[in-house]
Amino acid sequence: MEHQRPKIVDVARLAGVSTATVSRVLSNPQIVSPETRELVEDAIRQTGYRLNHAARNLRHRRTGGVVALVPNLSNPFFSQILAGMAAVLAPAGYNLLVADTRTAGGDTVLGYAEPSRTDGLIVLDGALPADVLGRRPVVLACEWIPGLVAPRVNIDNRAAATMAVEHLADLGHRRIGHVAGPPGNVLTQARLAGAEQALKARGLPPPLVLQGDFSLESGRRAGAEWLALPADERPDAMFLASDAMACGFIGEVQHRGLTVPRDVSVMGFDDIELVAHMTPALSTIRQPREAIGRHAAQCLLSMIGGEASAEDIVLPVELVVRASTAAWPSR
Amino acid sequence: MEHQRPKIVDVARLAGVSTATVSRVLSNPQIVSPETRELVEDAIRQTGYRLNHAARNLRHRRTGGVVALVPNLSNPFFSQILAGMAAVLAPAGYNLLVADTRTAGGDTVLGYAEPSRTDGLIVLDGALPADVLGRRPVVLACEWIPGLVAPRVNIDNRAAATMAVEHLADLGHRRIGHVAGPPGNVLTQARLAGAEQALKARGLPPPLVLQGDFSLESGRRAGAEWLALPADERPDAMFLASDAMACGFIGEVQHRGLTVPRDVSVMGFDDIELVAHMTPALSTIRQPREAIGRHAAQCLLSMIGGEASAEDIVLPVELVVRASTAAWPSR
DNA sequence: CGGAGTTATGTAATCGATTTCAAGAGGGGT
DNA sequence: ACCCCTCTTGAAATCGATTACATAACTCCG
């Protein structure tokens, strides 16, 4: 049966050695004498042998895979983070699995937490219950889970929000509003706190806060709410907790005939690629998404490698000033 | 050692049955007598037993995973397709691995093609050499590989492009340009062909074709090239082969003081979520990305399940008319 | 020249499940 | 009472690699 995949014994037989030796050539070549190694390598070539990972993993008691638990795979914010993780994991011989925590249902998430399916987890969803993740390598990226002790890779959300609001204040705005993320979310809270703190420090009134959920559509709704306010009560600058919401907000406002930044300055958060090309180009806070992914992956690998527990990593953000924010009064 | 994960023999011992019986309870409960089953289930609960997938997979000669080979993970166009795939695969008990074919390097892609790592492949990158994928379950989604016989899940790119150009022609435009994708790409060719065909059928001159690569930045460059043309040579409508390029194009044109659609009508392709909220909202061709992902996954599962070879699936697109296209002459 | 030390290789146990085959128990028909 | 059949269950082989331990050959040194 030539359609049968050759196994290690086939190689061993052809090379006239034991399976042990073949295995050694595969995973630890330098302990085999050069002549034998040559012999085995020839046999491998001739048979077209390919290692069976399931067997190796079983013996090694590992899986060779790590999973990223993402709250919403279709959100472009995450795709670049995944790219960063993939860039680190592939060379290290690890598979990157992805799971959408909303789609999958709690059960499936629990499934991924099983040691026999993955060697570790990168959690990007702060809303997961802390106890579904057993006692195993976990790294929290971007979001975090309040009860859970695990290394975190993220940015200083509070300081970043402060930076954003200070930019608006520096432009002379005094009535500054905020469109927050979903209630209960850790990022929502940190960014709101940062915004409030900045206003307070400047002696400005607390922000008008509208509720969103990071999505485009919720930003659009916030735009509608803003428009519905009497003109003299509208904040003249808005800081939104995500770029997606900022896009929705600006879209709604401009489709109704007003202009950004003439009628309202808008500040986003994330710096997703597209917003640099909008009209107006969005001022925002840049998160180093690729780097977040890379560091999270690296951190997880070191934990899998046995390091007791890695350090938290806080990556720097950058204020990106573009055309959606302007000095007040701007008309 | 109570910290050792319990294995099937531990459960068997506690329940007073053989490992075979435990295994049967796990994977085929109805062939075990109710009393014994109860016994075993109790033992499982007491020991906290969890199945080892590596062992099961070894025995079953499968991996329980499929990989999506994506040309560029950080491109939001793909994330929603991944979401669709995940939605189908997770309930079926399959892991979704993702690999970035650009990041990984040909070697790694070959690695994923190994049967011992994945049970099947969903290829979203038409630029892969046909021979790296052995003789195993493969589905091509969106893009395809000319030499490779495998079921395809995609749209009729040529007809879609025709539809886009006809929309522009219907608006009265006569000089219609096209910004194409990267040369050699199958989508580039199909969409260009569709555009040319539509113009020809209407008796309009062939399009001015600018080269892009689907990326935002290449769209911005195309915008700059368009601007650099003498005003009386500029096409008065542009059809771009991706929404990302359309965004870049519009951004560049508007940042230089012109207005869309007054100075030029712009038509995109894909309907990524954001473009509905831009100013102006982008007219485009909607690809059912989630459905593409779902069908591709389903198709792959049926091939893994033994079906000889599934049918190609062509999903319908939709012309979405928004504000970036207007009747000519529009000023 | 004998024994310790090193190097290269083979034998067989092992990772943790699934599954084939055989056998025992019980039921029903004659 | 006997034979055949179905229903459960267990013993042991199996999936395909890795590795602990044993062994053989060879080197080195007093």
A111-122 tens-digit pLDDT: 787 888 999 999
A263 and A293 share one domain? no
Higher pLDDT, A134 or B87: B87
Q: Which nucleotide does the CA of A5 lie closest to, via C1'?
A: D16
Which residue of B lies nearest to A66 if distances are taken between CA atoms? B97
A265 and A169 share one domain? yes
What is the Cβ-side half-sphere exposure of residue B6, based on CA atoms within 13 angstroms?
Answer: 18
A227 and A117 share one domain? no
Query: How many structural domains does chain A have?
Result: 3
The fraction of chain A above a pLDDT of 90, given in percent, is: 82
The fraction of chain B above a pLDDT of 90, given in percent, is: 82
pLDDT tier at B328, thresholds 50, 70, 90:
confident
B195 and B234 share one domain? yes
Between B99, B251, B323, which is nearest A278 by CB? Answer: B251
Between B80, B103, B220, which is nearest A83 by CB? Answer: B103
Q: pLDDT for A274-287, tens place per residue?
A: 999 999 999 999 99
CA triplet B81, B166, B274: central angle to 5 degrees? 35
What is the predicted pLDDT for the residue at B1? 39
Distance CA A320, CA A286 (A): 7
Between B78, B86, B277, which is nearest A247 by CB? Answer: B277
Does A328 fall in a domain?
A: no
Give B-chain residues touching A104 at CB under 8 angstroms: 86, 90
What is the predicted pLDDT for the residue at A30? 92
Footprint of strand C on the protein (CB under 7 A): A 16-21, 24, 31-33, 35-36, 55, 58-59, 61; B 5, 7-9, 19-20, 22-24, 26-27, 49-52, 54-56, 58-60
What is the predicted pLDDT for the residue at B93? 87
Does A321 fall in a domain?
A: no
Give A-chain residues touching B244 at CB under 8 angstroms: 274
Does B229 fall in a domain?
A: yes
A213 and A199 share one domain? yes
pLDDT tier at B330, thresholds 50, 70, 90:
low
Higher pLDDT, B91 or A317: A317
CATH number for the domain harbouring residue B20: 1.10.260.40
Among B161, B271, B210, B290, smallest CA distance to B324 is for: B271
pLDDT tier at B8, thresholds 50, 70, 90:
very high
Which domain covers residue A13, as residue numbers? 8-51
CATH number for the domain harbouring residue A151: 3.40.50.2300
Give B-chain residues touching A116 at CB under 8 angstroms: 50-55
A195 and A123 share one domain? no
What is the predicted pLDDT for the residue at B107? 63
A296 and A307 share one domain? yes
What is the predicted pLDDT for the residue at A297? 97
Does A129 fall in a domain?
A: yes
C1' (D12) to CA (B44) span, angstroms: 23
The answer to whether the Cβ–Cβ distance between A79 and B83 falls below 8 Å is no
What is the Cβ-side half-sphere exposure of residue B163, based on CA atoms within 13 angstroms?
Answer: 19
What pairs with residue B238 in β-bridges? Answer: B177, B266
What is the predicted pLDDT for the residue at A105? 59
Pairing of strands A313-315, A65-70: unpaired
Q: Which nucleotide does the CA of A58 lie closest to, via C1'?
A: C15
- Which region among A43-57, B140-154, B190-204, B298-312 has the lowest average model confidence (pLDDT)? B298-312
B149 and B246 share one domain? no
Q: Give the mean model confidence (pLDDT) for residues A209-236.
A: 96
Is the pLDDT assigned to residue B36 strictly greater than 80? yes
- Which region among A28-37, A227-236, B116-125, B128-137 has the lowest average model confidence (pLDDT)? B128-137
Does A331 fall in a domain?
A: no
Q: pLDDT for B173-214, tens place per residue?
A: 999 999 999 999 999 999 999 999 999 999 999 999 999 999
What is the predicted pLDDT for the residue at B305? 87
Does B31 fall in a domain?
A: yes
What is the predicted pLDDT for the residue at A4? 76
What is the predicted pLDDT for the residue at A328? 84
Question: Which bases of chain C come closer than 7 Å to a protein CB?
Answer: 7-12, 14-20
Higher pLDDT, B149 or B225: B225
Is the pLDDT assigned to residue A198 strictly greater than 60? yes
B238 and B162 share one domain? yes
Distance CA A134, CA A131 (A): 7
Is the pLDDT assigned to residue B310 strictly greater than 60? yes
Interface size between A and B, measured as CB pairs under 8 A: 178
B29 and B99 share one domain? no
B67 and B138 share one domain? yes
What is the predicted pLDDT for the residue at B2? 43
C1' (D18) to CA (A100) span, angstroms: 35
A293 and A280 share one domain? no
Does A56 fall in a domain?
A: no
Does B23 fall in a domain?
A: yes
Is the pLDDT assigned to residue A316 strictly greater than 90? yes
Give A-chain residues touching B96 at CB under 8 angstroms: 97-99
